[in-house]
């Protein structure tokens, strides 16, 4: 063992500082810094990274271990074998007696060796940029006695999960260069617990936000209970907003087994205020101490027992917008100044599809080969956008289209990218000219001449572009988010959504510029599969372990026809009613099989949060045939979560047979369900006023599906545009839907609307 490691197999937290991160890892260094700052941190120690290194070298397993995990990251079978072999080597090797004794001696110094402790991995690489495998290491609660040694070894073994191996291979990290430390810390039997943000997590303004619930903090962090929410003015200490929740359950330690269990909260405490004014004052004081010590606003986990507050974790808040980059109206040069010659006269009006106000030079795009002229800060003006225009859309400051509505490609992608957009102008592409400076208002749907004459206030601009508030209200109905393109995953995750209710696979394929058949023919099936794997993985990684529901390919023939190889696509009078969705997949099982192989590889990599969703099914026969193809691809429908889109009246009326076919969930695609129920083309301006997702016929179908699914223990969701509308949210929550998936810009509003409806239902039930 290296000299320092041999002398100090463990380091007590009071001796740890930030410069010890190579020995104690990110988590250990943070706890040590908090201790040194005088914050009340539960006592504990770190089994150092050098100790792990000494163990694998002293016992002679190091070379075999590193050889076992040096595998092809794209070979899912090899990854699984590597994980199993690494675990076998580490857990199957006895801890040397001297090291075992030293760890247990340190444990004995915690309350005479009778303490319940938390054992947590602390990877030395976890604070590297994008080191997202770090969150995959282990945590064990309420550990006692000799079990501690085995839990330490399990933390070491967690350094070699499939996902961790894959990540390091992809990022170029050598396995032998990565070590791991283990934090051992006395458990706090919290009577009250929660989280605190020392500044507003979106804007950084001087508002402290505290969430609190009864019992252990796992309930608040996991979202299993709705906590009280206190918003405090930092300057005055005054509570400016207070929400006292109905706290039905709490997490506590079972006094007999020591395990963490869920208990019902006593009736007289369910709606009682968790924190008194003195406790809030003490938390504010500790939060400010932590912020002053680190120099940045902090996200703090805390626990309170016998009147004493303990700090369990503190980390910087990473979601605060830059006020200087957020204030005012931007022009195409990236500044927020008024341009000369602006007169503010309105040129045309459309539908405000993505919020925000932006100014810049127009770039009219009539053909795909004109996309290269779109630069940073330009305004794309086109008849309508397509998936292969996404790279240019990401460069643009704003988007204007002649056609489309709130469910058009331009509208959906613009909202996900946070780019202001106006759609359905009817004449922009033929009226505006290249280089012409305009201002678009994505709220009002207006396009005016020149740059904006008046800048919006800083607060207005912040409200337009700030990320969704990650301090979300806890609700029984899950609120998820729709994602069209993988590049929007990070912004989507910042909403605090409970997962992804709809990830569209077709954008990953169409962005290649080739039809699936053409791509496979010219690049090979494996390359095609990897396009899907890489796109889905980017979102699954960002949200892990929250679920990500991926819809299999559902592109109409007219979208395929514009791609290379599209000349073989059939010409259809109405492609939306034609050769798309599951009907195309079942007709072309070889291509569909590539999609399923991508899912299988993702599952083998450890992305167990990925769910498979089949679009445009009509009946049980569709589902059973697709299920058989899943099984043929090596996907076990009994172990993986999969389900269907309810987009046709036929599927809604066949829901009982679909449930009996084994689906785990049914998700409403209200855009299609509405147009097929009402015989209204949602993109046809002549009948657009008849498109109504709240039509009684549509609601009746949705209500009956939810009721039947509840009888069969099948989850229900909505991922169509209507899921972002308050009236639809009210209806769905009252009907008992399992989850609602909203557009990125609407998640926060839907979260609060769901909470309001649920609280009203609760009050009505007790009256």
For residue 211, what are the β-bridge partners?
195, 229
At residue 601, the 3 state secondary structure works out as helix
- Cα-based distances in Å from 557 to 334, 510, 579, 671: 39, 12, 7, 18
| C-alpha Rg value of the chain to the nearest Å | 28
CB 88 within 8 A of CB 154: no
Concatenating the DSSP letter of every residue in 472-484 gives PPP-SSEEEEEES
Q: List, in sequence order, the alpha helices (H) in 418-556.
A: 428-431, 458-465, 489-493, 506-510, 516-523, 525-543
CB hemisphere CA count around 346 (13 angstroms): 8
At residue 357, the 3 state secondary structure works out as strand
DSSP 241: E
Cα gap 614→582, rounded to integer Å: 6
Q: Assign 3-class secondary structure to 698-718.
A: HHHHHHHHHHHHHHCCCEEEE
- Cα-based distances in Å from 420 to 234, 415, 485: 33, 7, 17
Cα gap 56→531, rounded to integer Å: 38
At residue 216, the 3 state secondary structure works out as coil
Label residue 242 exposed, middle or buried (CB < 10 Å: 0-12, 13-18, 19+): middle
What's CA 577's distance to the chain center, in Å?
A: 32
Give the residue numbers annotated as catalytic, written as ranges.
Answer: 409, 719
Tell me the residue length of the chain. 767
CB 436 within 8 A of CB 414: no
Starting from the edge strand earliest in sequence, which strands make up the sheet with 117-123, in order?
A: 10-12, 44-47, 180-186, 117-123, 139-143
Residue whose tokens read 């110094």: 109
Helix axes 76-91, 162-171, angle to 10 degrees: 120
Tell me which H or E stretch contains 262. strand 260-264
Residue whose tokens read 């992305």: 607
Q: What are phi and psi of 347, to 5 degrees?
A: -90, -40
Cα gap 657→712, rounded to integer Å: 10
CB hemisphere CA count around 345 (13 angstroms): 3
Structure tokens at 276: 């008194």
Cα gap 560→558, rounded to integer Å: 5
Cα gap 151→146, rounded to integer Å: 9
Q: What are phi and psi of 478, to 5 degrees?
A: -70, 145
- Cα-based distances in Å from 16 to 26, 35, 315, 434: 11, 8, 17, 61
Give the residue among 10, 69, 30, 24 at the shortest CA–CA distance from 180: 24
For residue 666, what are the β-bridge partners?
644, 716
Structure tokens at 410: 């331009």
């Amino acid at each position: 063992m290296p000299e320092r490691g041999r002398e100090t197999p463990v380091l007590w937290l009071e001796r740890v500082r930030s410069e010890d991160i190579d020995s104690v890892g990110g988590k250990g260094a943070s706890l040590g810094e908090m201790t040194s700052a005088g914050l009340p941190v539960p006592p504990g120690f770190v089994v150092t990274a050098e100790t792990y290194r000494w163990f694998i070298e002293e016992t002679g397993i190091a070379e075999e271990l590193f050889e076992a995990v040096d595998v092809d990251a794209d070979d899912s079978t090899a990854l699984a074998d590597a994980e199993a072999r690494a675990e076998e080597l580490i857990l199957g090797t006895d801890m040397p007696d001297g090291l075992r004794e030293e760890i247990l001696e340190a444990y004995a110094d915690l309350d005479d060796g009778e303490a319940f402790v938390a054992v947590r991995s602390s990877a030395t690489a976890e604070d590297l940029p994008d080191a997202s495998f770090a969150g995959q290491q282990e945590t064990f609660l309420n550990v006692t006695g000799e079990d501690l040694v085995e839990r330490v070894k399990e933390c070491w073994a967690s350094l070699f999960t499939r996902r961790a191996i894959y990540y390091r291979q992809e990022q170029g990290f050598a396995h032998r260069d990565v070590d791991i430390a283990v934090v051992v810390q006395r458990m706090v039997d919290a009577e009250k617990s929660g989280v605190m943000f020392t500044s507003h997590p979106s804007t950084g303004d001087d508002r402290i936000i505290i969430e609190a619930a009864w019992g252990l903090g796992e309930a608040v962090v996991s979202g299993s209970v709705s906590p009280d929410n206190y918003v405090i003015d930092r300057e005055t200490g005054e509570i400016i907003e207070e929400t006292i929740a109905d706290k039905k359950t709490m997490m506590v330690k079972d006094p007999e087994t020591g395990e963490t269990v869920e208990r019902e909260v006593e009736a007289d405490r369910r709606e009682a205020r968790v924190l008194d004014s003195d406790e809030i004052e003490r938390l504010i004081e500790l939060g400010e101490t932590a912020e002053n010590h680190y120099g940045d606003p902090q996200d703090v986990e805390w626990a309170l027992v016998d009147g004493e507050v303990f700090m369990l974790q503190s980390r910087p808040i990473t979601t605060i917008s830059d006020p200087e980059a957020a204030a005012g109206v931007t022009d195409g040069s990236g500044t927020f100044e008024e341009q000369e010659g602006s007169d503010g006269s309105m040129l045309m009006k459309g539908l405000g599809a993505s919020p925000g106000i932006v100014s810049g030079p127009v770039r009219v795009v009539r053909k795909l080969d004109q996309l290269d002229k779109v630069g940073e800060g330009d305004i794309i003006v086109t008849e309508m956008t397509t998936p292969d225009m996404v790279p240019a859309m990401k460069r643009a400051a704003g988007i204007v289209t002649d056609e489309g509505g709130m469910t058009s490609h331009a509208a959906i992608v613009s909202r996900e990218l946070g780019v202001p957009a106006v759609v359905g102008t009817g004449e922009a592409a033929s009226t505006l000219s290249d280089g012409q400076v305009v201002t678009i208002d994505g709220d009002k749907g207006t396009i005016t001449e020149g740059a904006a004459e008046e800048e919006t206030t800083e607060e207005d601009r912040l409200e337009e572009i700030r990320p969704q508030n990650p301090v979300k209200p806890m609700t029984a109905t899950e609120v998820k988010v729709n994602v069209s393109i993988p590049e929007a995953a990070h912004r989507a995750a910042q909403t605090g959504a409970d997962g992804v209710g709809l990830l569209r696979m077709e954008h990953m394929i169409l962005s290649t510029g080739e039809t699936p058949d053409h791509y496979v023919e010219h690049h090979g099936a494996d390359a095609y599969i990897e396009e899907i794997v890489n796109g889905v993985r980017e979102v699954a990684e960002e949200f892990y372990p929250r679920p990500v529901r991926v819809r299999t390919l559902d592109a109409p023939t007219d979208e395929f026809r514009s791609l290379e190889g599209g000349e073989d696509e059939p010409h259809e009078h109405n492609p939306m009613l034609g050769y798309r969705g599951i009907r195309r997949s079942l007709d072309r099982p070889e291509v569909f099989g590539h999609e399923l192989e991508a899912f299988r590889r993702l599952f083998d990599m450890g992305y167990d949060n990925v769910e498979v969703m089949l679009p445009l099914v009509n009946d049980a026969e569709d589902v059973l045939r697709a299920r058989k193809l899943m099984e043929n691809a090596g996907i076990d429908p009994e172990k993986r979560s999969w389900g269907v889109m309810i987009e046709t009246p036929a599927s809604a009326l066949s829901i009982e047979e679909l449930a009996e076919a084994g689906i785990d969930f049914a998700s409403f695609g209200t855009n299609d369900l509405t147009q097929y129920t009402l015989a209204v083309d949602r993109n046809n301006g002549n009948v657009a006023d008849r498109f109504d997702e709240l039509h009684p016929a549509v609601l009746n179908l949705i209500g009956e599906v939810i009721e039947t699914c509840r009888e069969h223990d099948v989850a229900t969701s909505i991922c169509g545009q209507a899921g972002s509308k308050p009236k639809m949210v009210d209806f769905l929550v009252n009907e008992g839907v399992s989850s609602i998936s909203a557009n990125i810009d609407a998640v926060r509003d839907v979260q609060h609307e769901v909470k309001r409806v649920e609280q009203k239902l609760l009050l009505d039930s007790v009256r």
